[in-house]
Amino acid sequence: MSMRRESVIETPMPPLDVARVRADFPALHQEVHGRPLAYLDNAATTQKPFTVIDAVERYYRRDNANVHRGVHTLSQRATADYEGAREKARVFLNAHSSREIVFVRGATEAINLVAQSFGRANIGRGDEILITEMEHHSNIVPWQLLSGQLGATLRVAPINDAGEVVLEDYEKLLSPRTRLVGIAHCSNALGSINPVKRMTRLAHDAGAVVLVDGAQAAPHFAVDVQALDCDFYVLSGHKMYGPTGIGVLYGKEALLEAMPPYQGGGEMIKYVSFDKTVYNDLPYKFEAGTPHIAGVIGLGAAIDYLTGLGLDAIADYERELLHYATVMLSGIPGLRLIGCARDKASILSFTLAGVHPHDIGTIFDHQGVAIRTGHHCAMPVMQRYGVPATARASLAFYNTSEEVDALAAAIHEAKEVFG
């Protein structure tokens, strides 16, 4: 038995069988406006496999109870599944301890938690917060709010034309005044993957704490928070094939331990009287109120699904698909690809001469091709490239080269309509 196990572990992961994978996602198999759906809006949210849908349904059908507070069987089952998902998230991120895994609503709430809890306790007047020019609004606005509240200054590391952070400028912006650095691991608008390990080391050398926004990274490749050595790492469940309304904040235990609570309420306390309240241990100190139990359990199933496919197999497949799509789109006259970083996830932002991105979206929808158009909650990126908006195709491991062909055909259709 043990020999069999060992041989399974030593066998390299098989390449991704996309036809089999697609069978796991019910929403992919439908027509839109009489055309087979090509769902290419995965950076906005991903579709869910049966295992995630079933896990959520099983909780509501069979195990529905509140967690951590009932001795009855249903509550024990719900608690075991909830805490089981925490352990899955810990392994997924290679965190040292499950006390470092806090369940939140999503990447947005995780960043706001760090800003308001860590930030208010550790950042003051005259201090600096450094982010990059490619951040999603959720890694800009919480720091602007905090800076305004504390009299701190927000600094921004620029990006080059390819959509890569200019590391020399980033390094120059780091100083003893820098208290916190916020970096996207992967940009939602450009696809650029940042060298966060190196950027973290540089920030630490300057004495700053580092938050990595992993919302667009975790669905595409393996993340190891201990190897990155970042202080905080945030995830959104719905971008990694799990439910909406659930996410993870990873924080180094010593930092979380020293931070004040973000919200007060039930669950986050050990003892309450009108004179004094004693807060709960980690991670419960940061999980006030009844959590999104079904969401956590669904996220656990999504992590199992990703791990089952293998993050390396996912990354390999998506790299090939990105290459195919880049070649296809680059050859189309009038098409401008925005974001050509050397290290890039399967996200293609583009503009089409003479066609407004919103019109592109509508025409594509009639071809069954789902993409996102707009500023992608990254307005400074649009400003950097001098465009009001882009069309964005974001590919997942269940997308195929035929769907990329459908995208190219839809682009030609848009050019004909407006050309």
Contacts of 362 (CB under 8 A, 6+ apart): none
3-class state of residue 208 by DSSP: coil
Q: From the CB of 214, what's the least distance to ligand 7TS, in Å?
A: 8
What phi and psi, each to the nearest 5 degrees, are found at residue 342?
Answer: -65, -40
The catalytic residues are: 377
Give the one residue of 23, 32, 44, 53 binding ligand 7TS; rule: CB under 6 A: 44
Q: Which stretch binds ligand 7TS (CB under 6 A): 91-99, 132-140, 315-323, 407-415?
A: 132-140
Q: From the CB of 215, what's the least distance to ligand 7TS, in Å?
A: 4
Q: Does 236 bind ligand 7TS (CB under 6 A)?
A: yes
Q: Does 376 bind ligand 7TS (CB under 6 A)?
A: yes
Q: Does 377 bind ligand 7TS (CB under 6 A)?
A: yes
Q: From the CB of 217, what's the least distance to ligand 7TS, in Å?
A: 8
- Show the site string, 304-343: x = touches ligand 7TS by CB under 6 A, - = not: ----------------------------------------
Using CB under 6 A as the binding rule, the residues of this chain from 137 to 176 that contact ligand 7TS are: 138-139
Helix, strand, coil proportions of the chain in percent (round to 5)? 45, 20, 35
Q: Does 106 bind ligand 7TS (CB under 6 A)?
A: yes
Q: From the CB of 188, what's the least distance to ligand 7TS, in Å?
A: 3
> For the chain, give me the number of helices (H) and strands (E)?
16, 17
Q: From the CB of 131, what's the least distance to ligand 7TS, in Å?
A: 12
CA 376 to chain centre: 14
The DSSP bridge pattern shows strands 232-236 and 209-213 to be: parallel
Q: How many CA atoms lie within 13 A of 244 on its CB side?
A: 4
Give the one residue of 215, 256, 297, 322 binding ligand 7TS; rule: CB under 6 A: 215
Q: Does 184 bind ligand 7TS (CB under 6 A)?
A: yes
Quick count: other Cβ atoms within 10 Å of Cβ 31? 9
Alpha carbon of 316 to those of 24, 134, 179, 240, 339: distances in Å? 20, 25, 37, 17, 20
- Residue with token string 């805490």: 83
Q: In terms of CB distance, is 47 or 236 closer to ligand 7TS?
A: 236
Q: In terms of CB distance, is 116 or 139 closer to ligand 7TS?
A: 139
Q: Both tokens of residue 136?
A: 């999603």
Q: How far apart are CA 39 and CA 398, in angstroms?
A: 9
237 exposure class (CB count in 10 Å sphere: 0-12, 13-18, 19+): buried
Q: Which stretch binds ligand 7TS (CB under 6 A): 51-59, 165-173, 213-221, 409-417?
A: 213-221
Q: Does 368 bind ligand 7TS (CB under 6 A)?
A: no
Q: In terms of CB distance, is 377 or 387 closer to ligand 7TS?
A: 377
Q: From the CB of 248, what's the least distance to ligand 7TS, in Å?
A: 11
Q: Which stretch binds ligand 7TS (CB under 6 A): 75-83, 106-114, 252-260, 264-272?
A: 106-114
Q: From the CB of 384, what's the least distance to ligand 7TS, in Å?
A: 16
Size of the site for ligand 7TS (CB under 6 A): 17
Give the one residue of 128, 133, 164, 213 binding ligand 7TS; rule: CB under 6 A: 213
What phi and psi, each to the nearest 5 degrees, are found at residue 18?
Answer: -65, -35
Q: How far apart are CA 68 and CA 269, in angstroms?
A: 12
Q: How far apart are CA 128 and CA 119, in angstroms?
A: 11
Cβ–Cβ under 8 Å, residues 363 and 352 = no
- Residue with token string 């069979």: 62
Which residues lie near ligand 7TS (CB under 6 A)? Answer: 43-44, 106-108, 136, 138-139, 184, 188, 213, 215-216, 236, 372, 376-377
